[in-house]
Structures are given as structure tokens and as C-alpha cells.
Structure 1
Amino acid sequence: MKYWKDRLPAVAANLLGLVALTLFLLASGSGLGVVLWIAVVWLMVLAAWLTVRCCLEKRRLEGLLKQAQQLEERYLLPEILPPPVTAEEEVYRRLMQLAEKSMLEKIAAAERERKEYREYIERWVHEIKTPITAGKLLCENHRSELTRELLAQLERITRYTEQTLYYARSEHTEKDYLIREIPLADLVHGAIAENKYLLRQNQVAVTVEEMPGLVSTDDKWVRFILDQLIGNAVKYRRENPSLRFSCVSGPGEISLLVEDNGVGIPAADLPRVFEKGFTGANGRAVQSSTGLGLYLCKRLCDKLGIGLALDSREGEGTTARLVFTVNDYITGVQG
């Protein structure tokens, strides 16, 4: 419909020309039959031209829209456009190229700023680890009730600094992981050891069931994920808190279950727990919640090919399931 509206001036001009030609032919003594024949031919040619032009334009524009939809970076559309046909199209294409150039310059500047900020965060985290480690050593060498309390707080600081570092690196995890076969039990015991003072301070009863088998993953990233799950279990604990680690084997996979008896997650919040910045009802009750822990866990699991799911009932606790894929070769070795 828009096409035909745009062609109204051309149609009006043709009709005026046809009327003028008709009047001229009649005035010059031409027969009415000849005049009508010329008018019919004129209208038929005009209708055919408009119809063919409409079909060709529709096909061309639909092709451009399809190309644009398939293009991930759509600001690069001027690079795939066909050569302009008219002077007007040439002007529009030039305008689009100018807009594209401006966009590319802004993207390049934004990427430079993000890279510089990420590098600063990484340097800061590495620098801050030195006084944290020194503080831990001082506390270890002067054991008392106060230093045990300090050690628990230092573990929390370490977790938050690690969260900052992993958040900065989460877009480029492929540059910072090493996949190898690791006993699942080593991952669990390592994460517990890193949080032992926090667990002891909050009197969390930890149970680790037998975990036979190997998984192919990066131990540093998985240990970070477990640190976040342990931290959440402590943060949202109830009286007599407990934490249980167990393993379930299935066809081609091994699942690590991390179960707590904490406050649980409301059913309305459960579908959104992996969203960035989402804290939910529990997070609003705990002022230290950032809404980044589970978001990072899910993002890193997706990068590493690990399945992550939460099952929770309010007032009963939460179970996190980490699903590691096991190939046939590893399964045969473990058997």
C-alpha cells in the first residue's frame, strides 16, 4: 500500500498527459476509436510497469531485510548493501556509511575503556590478595578467639575479591582455564578447606559422601562456583545449619549435589535467581546480597559446559545440582 501511495504523483502525471494527448488527438480530427485504443494501451503499459516495478522492489527490499536480520552486527549493514541504483540511494548509502563509521569509532573507544577497566580490576585484585594473605598468616600464627573471627572475615573478603575478579574475566573465560581430569572429591574438599573458618564460625555441620570418579573441568573455576554456593548456604542459614555434598552418576554424566537446610528460596523468585542483580525476598532481607553470585555461577557453568540447576522449598533448604558431562573414554577408565 505504501508503494502505491508513493507512486501517486507519477500516476497523476501520466493521467494528465493522457488527458492532454486525448484532447489533442480529438482536436486534430482523429477518430474516437483510435483515441480510445491509444488510451487503453497507455493505461495497460502504465499498470504493467507499476506492477513489475512493485514486485521487483518488494523482492529487493525483502532480501535486504533478510540479510539485516541474519547479520549479528547490524551497524555493518552498509557493507553488504548492493550498489545503489539511483542518486537518492547513493546519498542514503553515504549517510549510512557515515553513521557506521561513527558507531565503529564509539565501539572501539568503549572496548578500550572496558579493557583498561578490566585490567585495572585484575591488578587491584592481585594487589589486594597480598595483604589478605599476610593477615591470614598473622592470624594463623597467633591463634585466639579474636583471630578465628578475623580469619572468617578474611575468607569473606577473599570471596568478594574473587567474585570481582571472576566477574571481570567472565566474558573471556576461554583465555583463563585449563581443562583436565580432576577427582570430584578433590574439588569439594578444596572448596571446604577454603571456607573452613567461615563454616566453623557459623557452626555449619558439613557432610561429604563418597565421591568416586573423575570429571573434566577447570578446578579453579569450579572451586569458585562451589565457594559461592557455600557462601550462600552460610548467608541464608537457619538454626543448626548443615551442608551436604553428594554425588549421583547417570548415563554420560556425574551430578554433584550441594544441599543445605537454610531458609530456602520462594517459589516466585526461583525462576529469576540466575539473573544479574536479582536478589529476591531473601536478598532484600540480607543487606550484603549483591545478586551477582548465582549469576556468575550460571555464566561460568555455561562457559565450561556444566549444567546448573537449583531446587528449593521455602523454609526447608536449597539443593544446587552441578552436572558434569563424562565422555565414554573417562567412563571406561573409571569403570
Structure 2
Amino acid sequence: MSGRLYLKNQVPAILVNLIGMLALALFLLASGNRLQTVLFIFIVWLIILTAYLSVVYYVRKRYLNKLLDMTEQLEERYLIPEIMTIPEKADEQVFYQIMKMAEKSMLEKIGAIQNERKEYKEYIEQWIHEVKTPITAMKLLCENNRSPFAREILAELENINQYTEQALYYARSEHTEKDYFVREIDLCDVVHSAIADNKYLLRQSNMTITIEDIENRVYTDDKWVRFILNQMIGNAIKYRTEHPALHFSTIKTNDRIVLSISDNGIGIPKSDLPRIFEKGFTGRNGRTGKNSTGIGLYLCKRLCDKLGIGLTAYSENKGTTIALSFQMNDFVIGVQG
């Protein structure tokens, strides 16, 4: 609370006191009192008034600063009436009631929005699970009737499946802790599963795949890591050049295992690199006819943060390397050492 503003608010009270002091002084002088007596009373009155205003200012400032500190520490600041003490002054009680009404209205709106989001999320998840049934049926039909046309259909079905998976994981990414299951997994198995998920797209793009030294075991959720790898493979296919190649490898450090996915595609411009994990950011490459949504890498980063996996990207104009860094605890290091 500003001292200048406080004094400005107290101007009416100060003026009333000054008028009262002047009236009393005139009355005392008219009654035959000495000037020194009148001045003494005048000075005492001023001292009492100044002391009163100072004490009130100090007490109010301390109370309001405490209230501000409590508000700053709250995540949901509209809940401040719940931790406030009910004021004693009549005008302050009016404002307190207004805040309580605003809080109630806010809670009702938040509850309604949360219910809408929950219903929408459940609908999206249900729709995705339902749409996967015809996708699986079409894949079986195409695999049982092998032809160049069927292989093209299978590649497009993998594309569709990847987009549906992206939508499903986006819907679930807000509460991943309810969906993931951390256990010891073999990175080699997850990498091969992700490659199998995209086998027709990889074959269609004539992608050369090499796998080197990935016989490592880590503790994480294989389903979520598989989804992340699918996004990386999809990007390598989307932004490929002539004679595309994809390379998987791991490096073991003191307490981490780093899985690297490298391609020889068009790369990422240096100016775009710091922002590729931002939601909706498509970059220069995404705006040149690649139909990028800016969701894939954002989801990967979000899921990696939830799982405690480090995610970094490197690119030198041509080719991109994505590194997934898995933390190992002392027990795992002892077993694998």
C-alpha cells in the first residue's frame, strides 16, 4: 500500500479534524483563554491525529502485504477468500462477500468446463478405438490380397493409423500417469516394433535402415516410447531426400543410455531448431507443402518430460539426429555394468 495514496484517501478525515481544531481554537480564544494554551491543545491534537494515522497505516499495510503474499503463493488465486479472515469493518465485509460470490461463480464455470473437456476426451478416445477396427480390417484385406495397389493402400493406412495414434496420445497426454506402466524393457525390441509399425511407409520411401549397438535395457514405458519412435520415423519419411537412410544407435554414459535416431533428410534450419518442440510450430520445412501440424514433436517432448526422458535434437542443415536419454538408477547400473 502506497503511503501517498493512503494520505490522499485520508484527506476528508484530515480536513474534518483541521476544521474542528480551528473551531475549538476560535472558541477557546473567544472564551478568554491564553494563546499559549490554545496552541498547546492544537499541537497535542495534531500529535494524536498523526500518531493515529501512522498506526492505522502500519497495521493496514502489514495486513494487506500479508494478503498479497498469500495470494501470490496460491496456484488458483481466485480461492483467496477461503484463506482470508472475515473482516470486521462493514465496507470490507461487502467486498469480502463480492469476492466470495466471484469465487463461487468461477468454481462453477471451471467445473462446467472440466466436465465438457472430460466428455470430449472420452468421446475422442472412444471414436479412435472404433475407427481402429475398420483400419485393422482394411489392413488384413490388403495383406490377404497382395498387389502393388494393396501395398500403396497399406502405406496410407499406416499414415492414418499414425494420425489416430497421435490424436489418442494427445488426448491422454494431460494425465499420462494414469496410463503408463514403467518396467524394464529392451530398446532393441521397441525399435524393431516401431520399424514394423511403419514397414510399408519405409518400403514405399525406399528407406535404408541400419541398427547399431542397441542391446540395452532401460526402465520406462514401452508403449509411450514406441509412440515417440513412430513420430521420429514418420518425420524421417516425411522430410526425406533422395536415397533416404535411417540409423539407430545407443551410447552408454555414467548414468544414462542415449538412443540416437539419425536420418539424412533435409534437416532443420538453425533458426527453427530451438522451437521445434513448441506446440503448433511447423518451421520453414513444415510450411513448404509437408502438411505439418506442429503436434508430433510437441507431444514427444511432453511425454518425455512426463517419463523423465531427455529429448534433444541436432541438425547441421542436412540430416537430423534426435537423442532420447534414459536415466539409469544405481541398481540398473550395477546389473548392466
Q: Taking structure 1 as the reference length, what is the TM-score of the superposition? A: 0.98
Q: Secondary structure at the match of 2:240?
A: coil
- Normalised TM-score (structure 2): 0.98
| Aligned Cα root-mean-square deviation (Å) | 0.8
**Residue of 126, 130, 141 corresponding to 1:127:** 130
Within 5 Å, give how 1:75-114 maps onto structure 2. 75-114=78-117
SS at match of 1:259: strand
C-alpha contact (below 8 Å) 2:238/2:290 kept by paired residues: no
Query: Mapping of 1:199-278 within 5 angstroms?
Result: 199-278=202-281
Structure 2 SS opposite 1:286: coil
Q: How far did residue 184 of structure 1 move?
A: 1.0
Paired with 1:53 and 1:261, the residues of 2 have a C-alpha distance of 72
Q: Is the 8 A contact 2:313 2:323 kept in 1?
A: yes
SS for the counterpart of 2:277 is coil
1:285 is paired with a residue of what secondary structure?
Answer: coil
AA of the residue aligned to 2:114: E
Contact conserved, 2:81 with 2:100, CA < 8 A, in 1? yes
- Cα deviation for residue 322 of structure 1 reads 0.5
The structure 1 segments of at least 4 consecutive aligned residues displaced by more than 2 Å after TM superposition are none
Structure-2 separation of matches of 1:334 and 1:141: 43
Q: Structure 1, residues 41-65: CA drift from partner, whole Å, max 9, x if none?
A: 1101111111111111111111111
Quick one: distance in 1 between partners of 2:156 and 2:123? 25
1:282 paired residue number: 285
Aligned match of 2:143: 140
* Cα distance in 1 for residues equivalent to 2:300 and 2:212: 23
Structure 2, unaligned runs of 5 or more: none
Provide the residue aligned with 2:324 in structure 1: 322
For residues 164-207 of structure 1, the C-alpha deviation after alignment (integer angstroms, 9 at most, x for no partner) is 00000000111111100001111111111111111110011111
- Specify the alignment match of 1:69 in structure 2: 72
SS class of match (1:290): coil
Distance in 2 (CA, whole Å) between partners of 1:82 and 1:251 is: 54
Q: Which residue of 1 aligns with 2:23?
A: 20
User: CA offset at residue 288 of structure 1?
Assistant: 1.8
User: For structure 1, which runs of at least 5 residues remain unmatched after alignment?
Assistant: none
Distance 1:56 1:108 in 2: 38
Contact kept, 8 Å, 2:185 with 2:217, in 1: the verdict is yes
Residue 160 of structure 1 pairs with residue 163 of structure 2: yes
SS in 1 for 2:107: helix
Shift of 1:327: 0.8
Matches within 5 A, 1:40-79: 40-79=43-82
Match of 1:303 among 281, 306, 313: 306
2-structure distance, mates of 1:3, 1:79:
27
State how many pairs are aligned.
334
Cα pair 2:142 2:150 within 8 Å, conserved: yes
Q: Distance in 1 between matches of 2:306 and 2:113?
A: 24
Q: Which amino acid aligns with 2:23?
A: A
Name the counterpart of 1:179: 182
Give how far 1:143 is off: 1.0
User: What letter matches 1:144 in structure 2?
Assistant: S
The separation in 1 between residues aligned to 2:259 and 2:227, in whole angstroms, is 15
- The percent identity for this pair of structures is 61
Q: Distance in 1 between matches of 2:27 and 2:315?
A: 89
Pairwise CA distance, 1:85: 2.3
Paired position in structure 2 for 1:170: 173
SS of residue paired to 2:279: coil
Letter in structure 1 aligned against 2:194: A
What's the offset of the Cα at 1:287? 4.3
Partner amino acid for 1:328? D
Q: Secondary structure at the match of 2:270?
A: coil
Q: Could you tell me how far apart the structure 1 residues matched to 2:6 and 2:189 are?
A: 69
Distance in 1 between the 2:185 and 2:278 partners?
29
Structure 2 counterpart of 1:170, one-letter code = S
Matching residue's letter, 2:315:
S
1:35 to 7, 30, 38: 38
